Amino acid sequence: MDSKLIISDLLTIEQCRAWVTPSDFVLSENFSDSRRAEFLSWRALLSRHLGRVVEIEYDSLGAPRVVGSELHIGVSHTTQRVAVVVSNNPCAVDVESSQRDLQRISSRFLTTEERRMAVDNRALVAIWCSRECYYKLRHDKSLSLLTDICVSKIDMAAGSVTVTDNRGGQATMQILEQNGYIVVYFV
């Protein structure tokens, strides 16, 4: 299977119904309306992409997996938007509104070099998404998102970002700007 990035507005509950398991549909009835739409939307989008309803389980670190499959998936959702990556290899994704105000918390997570790179709010959101995406990709709960991971290079025009950690790890990921959202992904 080729790697695939799926980005969509949240689906309606009715659009999801035929593409999620009955147990996921029932489980989601206890969620808030927004959480329910996010939960069902990414599952429905993944199932539609694969052409069959899939069952999702979570590994010991809380990452989602397709039951009975060797596929790797990554998931992210925010207000009105969901992103899913599917690959035969490790993958990850994070999505946020390009308007999200991270200024008041940025002093807690930006390094000095990242402050120089955060030339506008879009870049600041991309840095945040990059850290989140890398954390998901590394799949290591002992890494601290705030102190162990940093963006070493970002090029918004080229749509690429390089992230490192203090243990020698590194990944170059893609940045996509779409309909007021920033998506950072690795496939």
**Statement: residue 79 has pLDDT above 90:** no
Residue 146 pLDDT:
83
Q: Which of 35-49, 99-113, 116-130 is predicted least confidently? A: 99-113
**Statement: residue 53 has pLDDT above 80:** yes
Residue 28 pLDDT:
97
Whether the pTM exceeds 0.85: the reply is yes
- Compare 66 and 103 and report the one with higher pLDDT: 66
- Quote the CA–CA distance of 120 and 16 in Å, as a whole number: 36
Looking at residues 133-156, what average pLDDT do you find?
Answer: 94
Looking at residues 99-103, what average pLDDT do you find?
Answer: 82
For 15-26, what is each residue's pLDDT tens digit?
A: 999 999 999 999
